[in-house]
Each structure stands twice: as C-alpha cells, then as structure tokens.
Structure 1
Amino acid sequence: MQENLVRLFIALGVFLLMVSWEAISPRRQTVTRKQRWPINLGLAFFNMAMMRLTIGGLAFFSAIDAGEKSWGLLNQLDLPFWLNAFLTWLALDFAIYLQHIITHKWPLLWRLHQVHHSDLEFDATTAVRFHPLEILLSMFYKVAWVYALGAEPAAVIAFEIILNGAATFNHSNVNIPIKLDRILRWLIITPDMHRIHHSTIRQEIDSNYGFSISLWDRLCRTYTADPAGPQETMDIGLPRMRAPQQVRFLRLLQLPFINNGRG
C-alpha cells in the first residue's frame, strides 16, 4: 500500500512539472487539449482503477515471492544489493524495449497498442493513453521477467517509478535547446527523440522504441536521429484516425476489436 502511494505521488509530481513546463515553453503549438485531455486522462483513471481492483502491485509481490523461493537468475548469484538492483533495473528496461517492438510487429498486440499512437498530438497526457488490455498484458509480461530474473523487489518499484517518470518526460511537449537535447540523447530518451516514434511515416514509427535510456535503440539499430520534416510541424498519430468520431473514449476502447490496420 505504501509503495503504491509513493509511486502515485511521484507520478503526479512529474506530470504536474511537465504540464507546467509545456505551458511555459512548448516545443509545438497544440490546440486540442479540450478534446484530447479528457480522453487521455479518462483512460489513465480507468486503467488506475482497473489495476487497483485487480492485479496492481503484482510485479512487486512476484519479486518478493521469487526471493522467498530462490527462483530466478539473480537469486542464484551472491551479488551485493546495489549490483543486484542495478541489473534488475537494466534487464527490466530492456524487457520493456523488447515489449514495445513486439507490440508493433505482432498484429494482435498492435490492435491494442494503436490506441496509444492514435493521439494526433504529443504531450504529457499521451504517456497515459493506453488501452486497459495492453496495461494488463504488460503486467503479466513484467511478472514473467521478474520471476526469470529473480528481481530485487526494491528495484522493481524503482524501475516502475523511473519508467513512469521517463514516459511522462519523453512524451511531453517541452522545448529543450537542440544542443542540450543531442547531449542528453546519449543517455536518456528526450521528447524530440521519442516524438519521431509517433510520426505518421512508417520508417519513423518503427524506430526509437526506448522509454528510459537510449542505449537499446543505439545497440539494436532502431535509432532515428531526425524526422523527415521539422519537429514543430511533423504529423503525429495514425492517418486513418483523424476524423473526430474516431477519437472518442468509447471508440478507443472498441478500437482493437474493429480495426487492426497499421496506417
């Protein structure tokens, strides 16, 4: 219970920081907050309530269970706590990178993930625009990795806090000086880097899959440095989702069951 409150307060703090930064110094001009924010935040609250009533905290409790039963790779090694925690975080971050690629390449999972890409603009609320079934499947995927790794429980909580904060940051519409952005990209995913992944151009969508660190995209050659057009005016989202009736809350919940196209 306490760890959930800590995660919630940190997530809210990061979100408020980023939306304030967006208001003061935006990268792109956005005009549809009144239409988009109720949908995106509605999905966020729906998913939070669903997880709270079902399997919220499962990854953390799975890590405790794996430790008690000595399951998983790291539980077979006599490592200092700091190294165990670091390897847990690094492996889980790579797992999420792989998961992201799979959601794009496997048509059944793309049906769910397209809800995230259907946002026609790009700001901090885009980070929470996910179909509830994708959230559930993602949790079971993480649990499998937690047991296989023998993940350190404290590191699992830290990983989820970092992941949530990084996703809010790299989806935000904030203006970072170009030179600073290029430096930061050697370590973390910046908004300009991740915005490319939300492009309407197929080659750009199929790149920059990372959420926290840029290492995986660079190592696995899925890194794209610049979009074909300017960051300020590049098209965002799925072309077929531009009609207003396509982006209503209930429509997005139904989307995986009525359309599985990639365009």
Structure 2
Amino acid sequence: MFPKFDKIGMPLLGVAAGVLFVLEAKYKLRRRVRSKPKRLLENASVAAAALPALRLVLIPGMYAAARWANNRQFGLLPWLKLPKAAHYTLGFLLLDYGNYFWHMLMHRSHLLWRFHNVHHSDLDLDLSSAWRFHVGENFASVPYRGGVIALLGVPAPLVLFYEVIFEGCTAFHHSNLRLPYKLEKQLCRVMVTPRMHGIHHSIVRQETDSNYAVIFSWWDRLHQTLRLNVPQDAVTIGVPAYRDPAEQSPVHLFRMPFKKQRPWKLPDGTVPQRAKLPEPTQLLP
C-alpha cells in the first residue's frame, strides 16, 4: 500500500491528464488520421489491462527491490555516502538514465519489440497513446527496472516520487499539444517534448530508433541518438507494416506480440525513407 502515491500522486496525474486532454484538443500539433472516439475506446481497452499491472505488479516490484537494497545498504548510492540532497538528486537522474537504456532495449530486442510494437502501431499520437502499452510489456519491465533500482540502491520513497514524474512526463510528451515553437525549442534542451517524441513514433526507421529518453533529453544528446530536425507535418505516425485500421482492435493488439512480426515495410513493399537532413539537434516546427 502506498498512501501518498495513491492519494496525492495519482490525483495529480489525473489533473495533469485532464488539462493535457483539453489543451491538445484546442492546440493540435499533428492532424489526425483516425476518428478520435474510436481510438480512445481502443487505447482505453489496452490500458485497462496495462494500468492495473503497472500499479499492482510493476510499482510494488520496484519498491520491493528498493527496500531490499536499502535494508542491506546495497548498491552504488549507499557506497558513495553522499549528503541526502545529492543522494536523492543523483538517484533521480540515474533512474531516468536507466529507463533510457530500457527504452532502447525494447527497440533492439526482437522479443521485447513484439510487446512494444503495440504502443508504436498506433496510427495517431496523443494523450491516450501514453497508456497504450501491452500488459506483457509492464510484466517484462519488472526484472530490469527492479534490478536497476537494487544495483543503484535508490531510496524506496524516491522510487514512488520518480514514478509520478515519469508518468506525468510520459503523458506530456505523447500528447498532441502544439507548444509555442520558441518555448519548445528551449524546453527540449532539458526535457522530452511532444515534437521530440513525435519523431520517435515516425514510420521512418532511423527516426523511430532515436529520442529514447523519457524525462531528460540529455541522455539522447549524450549517446547521439537525438533527432529533432524533422518537421511535424512530415512525420507519419505508426509502424509501416501495421497501417490497417481494422488491426487496431483490442483483441488484435493483445495478440500482436504472439504473432510473427512483419518486416519494416509498407504494405506495397517499400521501406519509408527520408532524405538526410542537416543538424539533427536543431528542432524544426
């Protein structure tokens, strides 16, 4: 039981989601290709299995890993013996750095991609996409995220605090919210923004294989996986081999990881490409 997480964190996330839902409807970043009500129903159906797994399995698993490490003074942070403020700050940053690698691994592991593909095969990108994750992906993340927490020796309360920020930022950068360009240009120097993450959901493979960060964009800059120079009007959302709206049903999405994965090609056999653009770290509108 996590009273503060449930009584403070979850309501705050609910308010943030409500605000983003209204704002993205008023200030659209990308044009939709499908009916919004139908997509909301489909994505909500997928989330109906994924979110309970998040709350009842993933979060308790991560918290248990932290408690195990804390009780034994195990991990990097206890070994460093930093002042409390530095201990928590470094712990927060390292949690986010670990999730950068987890996201990259989901794209590079054929097994994990089967589950993550459910998230990427959405033909539009908006707030509802932030919760469109296969339940199997949440189960698969427990050993990795719990293991990272234990190896770092992150304080257990920090795990819950980070998760609230993690979920809030996930909702924000998946939203279809058009921020003022000059503001977002500065904001993405520090954190992941809707334009930045929209490129990650492109049907062009080189663009999907970029922008893995969740909260801080620094990790993509550090590992040279940052790509900002694609105009949003030029981005087609989705996975090229999964363009049929009829395959967006909850039943099909649930079964997707257990079927043979299609090659990264459009139905006509062509591979989506884009001419090389200069200055990949320069955000375009």
**TM-score normalised per structure 2:** 0.87
Does the residue aligned with 1:161 lie in a helix, a strand or coil? helix
Question: Does the CA-based 8 Å contact 1:59-1:143 persist in structure 2?
Answer: yes
Q: CA deviation at 1:53?
A: 4.7
Maintained 8 Å contact 1:14/1:165: yes
What CA distance in whole angstroms lies between the structure 2 residues aligned with 1:213 and 1:164?
13
Q: 3-state DSSP class of the match of 2:241? A: helix
Cα distance in structure 2, aligned partners of 1:179 and 1:56 = 36
Q: Check whether the contact 2:241–2:262 (CA below 8 A) recurs between aligned residues.
A: no
Q: Deviations over 1:173-216 (max 9, x none)?
A: 01111111111111011100110000011111111111111100
Counterpart residue type for residue 259 of structure 2: I
Q: Offset of 1:38 from its aligned partner?
A: 1.2
Counterpart of 1:26 in structure 2 is: 28
Q: 1:99 Cα shift?
A: 0.8
* AA matched with 2:154: A
CA distance in structure 2 between the partners assigned to 1:185 and 1:200 by the alignment: 22
1:175 aligns to 2:178 (yes or no)? yes
1:45 aligned partner: 48
Corresponding position of 1:92: 95
Contact 1:209 1:222 in 2 (8 A): yes
- Residue 232 of structure 1: aligned partner: 233
Q: CA deviation at 1:36?
A: 1.1
* Structure 2: runs of 5+ lacking an equivalent: 265-285
* SS of equivalent to 1:238: coil
**Unmatched 5+ stretches in structure 1:** none
* Structure 1 range deviating more: 18-27 or 165-174: 18-27
**TM-score after normalising by structure 1:** 0.94
Instruction: Write the deviation string for residues 203-253 of structure 1: whole angstroms up to 9, x where unpaired.
Output: 1111111111110001100011122xx413521001222212211101111
Q: Matched residue of 2:233: which SS? A: coil
Query: Structure 1's 51 and 126: CA in aligned 2 closer, same or farther, altered over 3 A?
Result: closer
Q: Does 1:15 align with 2:12?
A: no
- AA aligned to 2:109 is W
Rate the CA distance shift 1:53–1:190 in 2: closer, same or farther, 3 A: closer
Report how far residue 63 of structure 1 moved.
1.1
**d(CA) in 2 for partners of 1:115 and 1:262?**
15
Q: Which residue of 1 aligns with 2:259?
A: 258
Superposed displacement of residue 51, structure 1: 4.1
Alpha carbons of 1:152 and 1:262: their partners in 2 closer, same or farther (altered >3 Å)?
A: farther
The residue aligned with 2:249 is 248
The residue correspondences of 1:55-204 to structure 2 (distance < 5 A) are: 55-204=58-207
- Please give the alpha-carbon distance, in whole angstroms, between the structure 1 residues aligned to 2:83 and 2:40: 44
Check conservation: 1:86, 1:155, Cα contact below 8 A: no
Equivalent residue of 1:232, what SS?
Answer: helix
Q: Describe the superposition over 1:101-140 as per-residue Cα deviations: whole angstroms up to 9, x where unpaired.
A: 1111111111111111000001011111111111111122
Amino acid at match of 2:134: H
Distance, in Å, in 1 between the alignment partners of 2:211 and 2:147 is 24
2:272 matched residue in structure 1: none
Aligned partner of 2:243: which letter? R
Classify 1:122/1:55 alpha carbon distance in 2 versus 1 (closer, same or farther; 3 Å).
closer
Separation in structure 1 between the aligned mates of residue 234 and residue 223 of structure 2, nearest angstrom: 28
Q: How many residues align?
A: 261
Q: Cα RMSD (Å) of the superposition?
A: 1.5
Partners of 2:116 and 2:134 within 8 A in 1 = yes
Superposition deviation, residue 100 in structure 1: 0.8
- Sequence identity of aligned pairs in percent? 34
- CA deviation vs aligned residue, 1:65-122 (integer Å, no higher than 9, x gap): 2111111121223222211111111111011100111111111111111111000001
CA contact (8 A) 2:66 2:150 kept: yes
CA distance in 1, matches of 2:128, 2:206: 24
